[in-house]
């Protein structure tokens, strides 16, 4: 390793915590709990448009183009509107569905393969570890507890507290104030190239891109890994 790092900023969702996998399980439970099988041929008719909408809205949210409330309502309003005979797709119903979905998600323990091993290794090496997330405050703390990762982190830096989302410079400025980290000795690890990697690079940080799906990078990175355990050979 060419540079001595003291602090590591780690994205949480889909870097350490298996957000997509856990949410998929929760969507299946939601489908049953709200009897959505009466309005859709099968779970995939609901799941596919949900994920398409969710990805689109999170990109807009990260870019500051929409508010949290819009994300929460629209990610369910749009797929639910495709259901046969589902007459009530009001904002109130979407919020009810969203609240139930977040309750289901918040207790799921699934993590990305190797996550606990890697976090234990980083702690043993003496790094200060800081969770840096755009996720919602009330959900993130519950997910941390559910997957047993709370005690790994020195600091939890959430976009709601920062008043800005990654990749905003305001978010990273807040993160450095909260953690007391020195940008010259801090590494960002994350899976989202736009929010985590480009945001951190523009803040002057070294970056490690967790790229399990083999996507194409649009800018150079300091490190690229395809499974979390690759970190054991680098840090």
H and E: helices and strands count for the chain: 9, 6
Domain boundaries in the chain?
A: 7-17+111-233, 20-106
So what CATH class is 20-106? mainly alpha
DSSP 92: H
Kindly give the confidence (pLDDT) of every residue in the chain, 235 residues in length, as a single tens digit, with 9 standing for 90 and above: 457 899 999 999 999 999 999 999 999 999 999 999 999 999 999 999 999 999 999 999 988 899 999 999 999 999 999 999 988 899 999 999 999 999 999 999 999 999 999 999 999 999 999 999 998 898 999 999 999 999 999 999 999 999 999 999 999 999 999 999 999 999 999 999 999 999 999 999 999 999 999 999 999 999 999 999 999 999 9
Whole-number Å distance between alpha carbons of 134 and 16 = 14
Predicted TM-score (pTM) of the model is 0.92
Query: Do 147 and 167 contact (CB within 8 A), yes or no?
Result: no
Parallel/antiparallel/unpaired status of strands 128-133 and 186-190: unpaired
The pLDDT score that the predictor gives to residue 1 is 44
The pLDDT score that the predictor gives to residue 69 is 95
CATH code, 7-17+111-233: 3.40.50.1000
The pLDDT score that the predictor gives to residue 163 is 94
Location of structure tokens 């736009």: 194
The pLDDT score that the predictor gives to residue 87 is 81
Q: Which two tokens stand for residue 4?
A: 């001595």
Whole-number Å distance between alpha carbons of 99 and 20 = 17
The pLDDT score that the predictor gives to residue 116 is 98
């Amino acid at each position: 390793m060419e540079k001595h790092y003291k602090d590591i900023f780690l994205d949480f969702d889909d870097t350490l915590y298996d957000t997509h996998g856990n949410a998929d399980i929760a969507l299946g439970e939601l489908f049953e709990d709200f009897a959505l099988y009466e309005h859709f041929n099968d779970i995939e008719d609901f799941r596919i448009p949900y994920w398409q909408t969710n990805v689109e809205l999170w990109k807009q949210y990260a870019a500051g183009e929409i508010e949290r409330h819009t994300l929460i309502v629209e990610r369910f309003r749009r797929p639910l509107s495709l259901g046969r005979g589902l007459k009530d797709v009001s904002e109130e119903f979407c919020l009810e569905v969203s609240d139930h979905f977040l309750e289901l998600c918040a207790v799921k323990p699934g993590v990305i393969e190797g996550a606990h091993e890697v976090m234990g290794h980083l702690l043993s090496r003496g790094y200060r570890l800081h969770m840096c997330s755009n996720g919602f405050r009330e959900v993130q703390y519950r997910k941390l507890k559910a997957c047993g990762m709370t005690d790994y982190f020195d600091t939890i830096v959430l976009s709601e507290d920062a008043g800005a989302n990654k990749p905003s410079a305001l978010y990273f400025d807040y993160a450095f104030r909260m953690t007391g980290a020195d940008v010259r000795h801090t590494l960002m690890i994350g899976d989202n190239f736009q929010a985590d990697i480009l945001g951190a690079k523009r803040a002057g940080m070294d970056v490690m891109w967790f790229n399990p799906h083999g996507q194409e990078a649009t800018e150079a990175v300091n490190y690229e890994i395809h499974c979390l355990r690759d970190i054991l050979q680098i840090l």
